[in-house]
Amino acid sequence: MSLRMRLLLIFGGIVVITVALVSYAVAVGARRSFETADNQRSTAVTQQFQREFELQGQALALRAAAIARSQPLRSMALALSAPGGDPAPYVNLAPSLAAEQQLDFLEVLSQDGTVISSAQWLARFGIRLAWIDEVPDWNLQPVFLQNEETPQGRELALISVRALAPADRRFLIVAGQKIDSSFLRSLALPEGTRVLLWQPSVAGGELEDAYGKVSMPGELKPILKESLQERKPVRRSIHLDDGADGVYTAHAIPFTGRDSKQPIAILVVASSHRELGDLQSRIRNIGLLVAAGGILLSIIASGWSAARISQPIEELSSAAQDVAGGNWERKVHANSANNKGEVAQLIASFNKMTDELLRQRDRALQAERVAAWRELARRLAHELKNPMFPLQITIENLMKARQQNSPEFDEIFAESTATLLAELSNLKKIVGRFSDFSKMPVPQLQRVNIDQILEEIAKLFAPQLASTAKPIKMETRLTSEDPNVAGASATRF
């Protein structure tokens, strides 16, 4: 992999990793901020529900007190307090009073809880409500939630119970207001927030929102049951609608009735994830754009760096290969516009190294020449010295034979003169070939008989060996095989 590609991968990797980390950190921060805002929004909606609950409860209590002080109820109380009072003529009293005060529920009860008149269901006349006996003084009891029986079934209502007069508790009125879609519409909800109401005791378990009945989403039902069983708020992310924008964070908040035991209604505050999804999508798109721009800048930066760094390094690598191949005069030319700093120093060091190599080569060649001439002189001296010894021995043999008047003097003289002439011829050949060697001729090989050369050498030493006090006889044992070899017998150095 080239340096340019490595630089591109390094720069691009740094940009992509940095953008990914920043995008991840921003996305996590946005998610946490959204969760915080979602909790605050759910808390605000719940508090608003409770405030609206209290406001309507206060208004309901005032209307219930007004009805308790009304003239028709006073007349009824007076008539029924007399011995033998008949409640039948007052069966239709509650509907008229409920219409005057715009109440959804209104019932007139006797002291033991028997229904005298019911605005929501006339057939409840004569039914006794046992829960009335659970509170000694209803005038001190605040409003509460309760499921009211109607011909259509149970309905959730905000209830206020009051006695007709503080000193006379023989008759009670139960005034109520529906908690349904109209109540939910009175809430001012933030954008992207939905409020749902679920009544566990209602047949079918349908939900209500600000616009009426809605079907139960499959993912919401387990949350409602968990909140109902645990009697505490539950928070989950679910799908309320189909599509990508249907993801919500649902807060299920249970509300109990007067006895504060089993929840009779669960309020669901659902916050849409659409804003979070849009924000994450924008962060992702921005991250992709920044990453693409960073990669483009990485390509430009890697090309610029390659022009300043990789190109000189590639040229240095090529020059090093040329030097390794024997081209010691190879130079790298520095471009002052691109090569500065360490790169320029590297190029200068390389050129200095090649100059030093050239100088070292010249010195080595000079040293080799001197050594070669020394070796040549040594071998020449050796080769010149070799014939001197036979010449000396031959002359000494002649002188000794002459002094002794040896009868074999003529024979010795003939052999000695032949030896002298042969060795002098060898010296002439050595000098001639040394002169030829200075011209560096090409060696010429020929067939050489080794046995013959050895016999000639033995003849040189035979007279000296025979003239000793105890004559020595020289014997030669030569090979019986072919003694001829390829060589330059005339050149001994």
Residues 6+ apart with CB under 8 A from 444: 488
| pLDDT given at position 447 | 83
pTM value > 0.85: no
CB 113 within 8 A of CB 133: yes
Please name the residue ranges forming H helices in 335-481.
342-403, 409-437, 450-466
Residues 6+ apart with CB under 8 A from 204: none
Angle, alpha carbons 239-242-248 (nearest 5°): 30
Q: Please state, in angstroms and rounded to a whole number, the distance separating the CA atoms of residues 236 and 249.
A: 6
Q: Which of 489, 371, 390, 386 is nearest to 433 (CA)?
A: 489
User: What pLDDT shows up at residue 168?
Assistant: 56
Weakly modelled stretches of the chain, pLDDT under 50 = 244, 337, 489-493
Token pair belonging to 421: 């002439």
Output the CA torsion 182→187→189→194 (10° steps): -40
**Angle between helix 450-466 and 342-403 (nearest 10):** 50
Q: What is the pLDDT of residues 73-127, one digit of tens each?
A: 888 888 888 887 888 888 999 999 999 888 999 999 988 889 999 999 988 888 9
**Span 194-233, pLDDT tens digits:** 888 888 876 556 788 888 888 888 888 889 888 888 888 8
Three-class SS state of 116: strand
pLDDT of residue 105: 93
pLDDT at residue 460, rounded to an integer = 73
Count CB neighbours of 191 within 10 A. Answer: 8
Q: What pLDDT does residue 491 have?
A: 42
Residues paired with residue 484 on neighbouring β-strands, in sequence order:
449
pLDDT given for residue 245 in this prediction: 60
Cα(125)–Cα(116) distance, rounded to whole angstroms? 6
Beta-bridge mates of residue 241: none
- The pLDDT > 90 percentage for the chain reads 4
Identify the pLDDT of residue 205: 66
pLDDT at 174: 92
